[in-house]
Amino acid sequence: MTKSLKGLVLCADGVATSTIVLVSIREACEEAGIQANFQQGRIADVQATIENGNYDVIVSNAGTDLDLPKKVPIFNGVPFLTGIGKEEVMEQIKAIADKK
């Protein structure tokens, strides 16, 4: 059975760094056998975006202290930019996919 994961990648403008993180997450998920469905968004729009989607995880380059109406695990996106700590974050994301 294929594991799947729906996620949201956030940055200040929803364009530059979120694109880099999005590609990195998709590649890591593919390597882990996870069918990843991630979309990009702006940190300023997170409240409305999270209300309209059913996300399993959020990866944010603009901080992880978000006051969200729904309880969704939030991960720091910087490891996907730098590579430092990326494996540790991916292990946590894989664990979420395994529980689905």
Each residue's pLDDT tens digit, 67-85: 786 789 999 999 999 999 9
Each residue's pLDDT tens digit, 7-33: 999 998 878 899 999 999 999 999 999
Mean pLDDT (the chain, rounded): 91
CA end-to-end span of the chain? 11
Residue 87 confidence class, pLDDT cut points 50, 70, 90: very high
Q: What is the pLDDT of residue 14?
A: 79
Range of the domain at 39: 3-99
Cα–Cα distance between 36 and 28 in angstroms, integer? 9
Residue 94 parent element (H or E): helix 86-99
Centre a 10 Å sphere on the Cβ of residue 54 and count the other Cβ atoms it contains.
8
Cα–Cα distance between 54 and 56 in angstroms, integer? 7
Q: What angle do CA 44, 15, 12 make, to 5 degrees?
A: 30
Tokens of 34: 């996870």
Above 90 in pLDDT, residue 1? no
Assign residue 48 the CATH number of its domain. Answer: 3.40.50.2300
Q: Mean per-residue pLDDT for 81-90? A: 95
Number of domains in the chain: 1
pTM, two decimals, is 0.90
Residues 22 and 40: beta-carbon distance below 8 Å:
yes
